[in-house]
């Protein structure tokens, strides 16, 4: 190993990622040596990068779009959770072996477990990679009734079938009754579509329901603002980001970091844009 352990995130694009700021802060706060870098990486460069990762060797990697599935073939072992999810977002080293985990599931579940009672029904908005982690997490919670809805009905059907869920038409999503509604789409993310909500305002959520938005920039999305205004419980994507990052840090270093301090750090960065 190099004198200073090296960590990083691979994906494309990475300009929006707050992972370098979070993990470099956590390393410094824990008094641990190491540096965490962003490695912008096109799909065609993955094989060469992973070969270099073994040779350097890198101590740990965060993996994001578009490499979460493809990276699995370059690893020595993948956890049951990552295999069930069909994606790896964390690579960590044990000796000469590179292992894969999916801490997105950990991050998604943490605020739900804190509620103490699992929802009896859930509706997942979207059918992309983030939805896979959500459906795997709902399976671990034992949620008995799960619906998937997306603008692409074929993708929604394929995803639902993979996780034993059912589908619901996207243009009728407001009629679905679920205790938990999870937005896994980018609708509402900072940028041109920031004011958009994946949930129709004409069908407000209310008391007894929970709105969970995986988008964390902005912290208060249009979806969450609408749900809060009509009495629903809300969970923001910052919770998932911080919990999944803390689990990554634990796998890499054996230590964790203080969640309130990390939240203050990231919220401050988001507020500055």
Which residues form the catalytic set?
A: 68
Is residue 236 within 8 A of residue 220, CB to CB? The reply is yes
Q: How far apart are CA 16 and CA 103, in angstroms?
A: 19
- Output the six-digit token pair for 205: 């959520």
Minimal CA–CA distance to 237: which of 57, 111, 149?
111
First vs last C-alpha separation in the chain: 36
The side-by-side arrangement of strands in the sheet containing 121-125 is 166-167, 145-149, 121-125, 180-183, 210-213, 233-235
- Output the six-digit token pair for 211: 């709105």
Minimal CA–CA distance to 112: which of 82, 141, 72?
141
Q: CA-based angle 133:21:82, to the nearest 5?
A: 20
Q: Which residues of 104-137 are buried (b: 16+ CB within 10 A; e: fewer)?
A: bbbbbbbbbeeeeebbebbbbbbbebbbbbbbbb
DSSP state of 257: -
Q: How far apart are CA 273 and CA 259, in angstroms?
A: 21
């Amino acid at each position: 190993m190099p004198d200073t352990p090296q960590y990083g995130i691979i994906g494309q694009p990475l300009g929006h990622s707050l992972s370098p700021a979070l993990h470099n802060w956590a390393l410094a706060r824990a008094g641990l040596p190491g540096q965490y870098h962003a490695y912008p990486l096109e799909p065609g460069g993955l094989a060469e990068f992973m070969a270099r990762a073994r040779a350097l060797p890198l101590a740990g990697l965060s993996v994001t779009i578009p490499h979460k599935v493809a990276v699995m073939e370059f690893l020595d072992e993948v956890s049951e959770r990552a295999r069930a999810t069909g994606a790896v977002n964390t690579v960590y080293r044990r000796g000469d072996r590179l292992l894969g985990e999916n801490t997105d599931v950990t991050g998604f579940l943490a605020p739900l477990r804190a509620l103490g009672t699992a929802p009896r029904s859930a509706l997942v908005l979207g059918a992309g990679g983030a939805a896979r982690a959500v459906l795997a997490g709902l399976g671990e919670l034992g949620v008995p009734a799960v619906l998937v809805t997306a603008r692409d009905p074929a993708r929604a059907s394929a995803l639902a079938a993979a996780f034993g869920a059912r589908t619901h038409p996207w243009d009728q999503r407001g009629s679905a009754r679920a205790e938990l509604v999870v937005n896994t789409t980018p609708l509402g993310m900072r940028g041109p579509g920031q004011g958009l909500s994946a949930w129709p305002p004409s069908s407000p959520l209310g008391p007894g329901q929970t709105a969970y938005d995986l988008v964390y920039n902005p912290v208060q999305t249009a979806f969450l603002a609408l749900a809060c205004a009509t009495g629903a419980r809300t969970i923001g994507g910052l919770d998932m980001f911080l919990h999944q990052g803390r689990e990554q840090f634990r796998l890499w270093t054996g230590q964790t970091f203080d969640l309130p301090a990390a939240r203050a750090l990231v919220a401050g960065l988001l507020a500055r844009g």
